[in-house]
A and B are shown apart, each in its own frame.
Chain A
């Protein structure tokens, strides 16, 4: 077990533990702030996978954007503490069966896949090669993404606009 492994397990533990708090916290503000650590852990895992650009995007968009949005949403609500955010119907047996099937599928896939093992070294940088593929191979997707964002923006504004305000 070298340093790389230790750091991997550290980030994995941060991610899993905080994600567990997100779904189990009674206080929704705790849940929202635990999400911060989940995002941070995931971004650390991306770094370990050599995806430096994605790791930074994770921090910038998720921690800097989505978390703030969620927190604003939480602040807009009235009841904060001791809200039962679990759904009313808890069906244990079907859930266990479905989780079992999915777990079996995942484990089966994990064992049947032939994993390409790379030396545990971080490639220099991914940003430039990402840019190249965006301009050449995936140019249509890149522009479509622009339109998707446009739709999202108009949609967000329309939903958030207060009726009868203007």
Chain B
């Protein structure tokens, strides 16, 4: 007899096997006629400009950081939620304090504006000007192009 987790592992194996069979089956049927155009990075028909490695908004990282802390908190509360009723009011207060302490941190971040998704300041994109204009173009800061989002 497999254990309950063994059964989960069988589900995982089966899902992987299904994808493998589907992909292999398709590879036997489908044509393979690559052309230069097909093998180009898809960019809505334009020739791709620059690397996809644009610098990302730091907010993504902050979201993941805050997420981990809440994740650990929720994980710790699961065993508590199963048994707190056996301990009555005391059991509930133990969890409530834990939750409220964390919520204090959340309130702090809220107040400090860390939960705000930083929106980029809208500035005109820097243009690669080949000709010499009569009026000198307004100097634009370097970093505006690399900042996406």
Give per-residue flags for A72-105: 1 if the beta carbon is below 8 A from chain B beta carbons, else 0.
Answer: 1101101010000000000000000000000000
Does A114 sit at the interface, judged by CB under 8 A? no
Asked if B65 contacts A160 (CB within 8 A), the reply is yes
Does A68 sit at the interface, judged by CB under 8 A? yes
> Chain A interface residue count: which class?
35 or more
Q: Within the assembled complex, what's the spacing in Å between the Cα atoms of A102 and B84?
A: 43
Q: Within the assembled complex, what's the spacing in Å between the Cα atoms of A161 and B116?
A: 11
Q: Given A131-B83, A142-B94, are A68 and B64 also a contact pair (CB < 8 Å)?
A: yes
Q: Given A131-B80, A135-B87, A149-B73, are A69 and B102 also a contact pair (CB < 8 Å)?
A: no
Asked if B53 contacts A153 (CB within 8 A), the reply is no
Q: Within the assembled complex, what's the spacing in Å between the Cα atoms of A139 and B91?
A: 10
Asked if A78 contacts B118 (CB within 8 A), the reply is no
Q: A127's contact among B9, B82, B91, B112, by CB below 8 Å, is which?
A: B82
Question: What's the dominant secondary structure at chain A's contact region?
Answer: helix
Asked if A130 contacts B64 (CB within 8 A), the reply is no
Q: Within the assembled complex, what's the spacing in Å between the Cα atoms of A125 and B133?
A: 76
Interface residues of B in 67-92 (CB under 8 A from A): 67-69, 71-73, 75-76, 78-84, 86-87, 90-91
B: number of interface residues (CB 8 Å): 49
Q: Given A127-B78, A128-B79, A153-B102, are A69 and B71 also a contact pair (CB < 8 Å)?
A: no
Question: What's the dominant secondary structure at chain B's contact region?
Answer: helix
What's the nearest-Cβ distance from chain B to residue A94, in Å? 35
Residues of A within 8 A of B3 (CB): 47, 122
Asked if A149 contacts B69 (CB within 8 A), the reply is yes
Q: Given A128-B82, A131-B83, A135-B83, are A153 and B62 also a contact pair (CB < 8 Å)?
A: no
Q: Within the assembled complex, what's the spacing in Å between the Cα atoms of A25 and B71?
A: 29
Does B58 sit at the interface, judged by CB under 8 A? yes
Give per-residue flags for B25-64: 1 if the beta carbon is below 8 A from chain A beta carbons, else 0.
Answer: 0000000000000000000000000000101101011101
Q: B84's contact among A68, A135, A157, by CB below 8 Å, is which?
A: A135
Q: B58's contact among A135, A139, A143, A162, by CB below 8 Å, is which?
A: A162
Q: Which residue of B lies closest to A136 (CB)?
A: B87
Does A61 sit at the interface, judged by CB under 8 A? yes
Residues of B within 8 A of A66 (CB): 68
Give per-residue flags for A39-62: 1 if the beta carbon is below 8 A from chain B beta carbons, else 0.
Answer: 000001001000011010100110
> Which residues of chain B have a CB within 8 Å of any CB of chain A?
3-6, 9, 53, 55-56, 58, 60-62, 64-69, 71-73, 75-76, 78-84, 86-87, 90-91, 94, 97-99, 101-102, 104-106, 108-109, 112-114, 118
> Which residues of chain A have a CB within 8 Å of any CB of chain B?
7, 44, 47, 52-53, 55, 57, 60-61, 64-66, 68-69, 72-73, 75-76, 78, 80, 122, 127-128, 130-132, 134-136, 139, 142-143, 145-147, 149-150, 152-154, 156-157, 160-162, 165-166
